[in-house]
Amino acid sequence: DQGILEKLSRTVASLEQCDTSRLWLVLPSFLHNFCHDNPGCLASPSVTEISSVLAQHFSSLTAAQPDLDTVAENYISFLSGLQSQEDKARLYQRSEVVLSVINLLEILVTEETVQTVLEFLQEILESEEVSVAFTEQGLFKSLLSVSSKAEEETLRNAKEADKALKVTKADLARVQ
């Protein structure tokens, strides 16, 4: 196992961050399964290196990323799956991991995927050290941005509903 992980670590480290390869879709799932089967996985330098490269990739994603929701959900599922690992807090505090989660929070638009990220944050921010790391990297600003986007969407939907209602009332008035 260790030899394969070392090769994978070197391969992943040599990839371009902007690469849209399917690897970024399957790698979080692979690590999730590997760490589930190996309780001490975060003690492995290869796993930490791959996790770091993954985090750097997710920090640089844009909303134009193909399959953004699926890729983001796989990554957050990997991170969330580490809850039973001893060294999880140390990984969650790493700046590249913090920035990757914050970036996803800022670029995701699908309500379900944003909710997945928020639920993950709720799980991990119980740790004071992790909370401090996220706060120092601007989590509060990102949460305000997400809240504003949701409020704007609600207002837009309300205006559309109001417009549709007015059209319906006008149609009814003409019929009578």
Residue 146: CA atoms inside 13 Å, Cβ hemisphere, count?
23
pLDDT above 80 for 106: yes
Q: How confident is the model at residue 150 (pLDDT cuts 50, 70, 90)?
A: low
pLDDT above 90 for 77: yes
Average pLDDT value for the chain: 86
Put simply, whether the predicted model's pTM sits higher than 0.75 gets the answer yes
pLDDT above 80 for 61: yes
pLDDT above 90 for 28: yes
Q: Do 123 and 131 touch, CB atoms closer than 8 A? A: no
Q: How confident is the model at residue 43 (pLDDT cuts 50, 70, 90)?
A: very high
Higher pLDDT, 162 or 1: 162
- Give the whole-angstrom CA distance, residue 5 versus residue 20: 21
108-117 pLDDT, tens digit each = 988 899 999 9
Quick one: average pLDDT of 130-140?
Answer: 95
DSSP state string for 83-152:
GG-TTHHHHHHSHHHHHHHHHHHHH---HHHHHHHHHHHHHHTTSHHHHHHHHHTTHHHHHHHHHHHHHH
pLDDT above 80 for 24: yes
pLDDT for 7 equals 85
Using alpha carbons only, give the angle 139, 140, 146 rounded to the nearest 5 degrees: 85
Higher pLDDT, 22 or 29: 29
The single-letter DSSP state of residue 17 is T
CA 135 to chain centre: 16
pLDDT above 90 for 90: yes
* Of residues 110, 15, 96, the one with CA closest to residue 58: 96
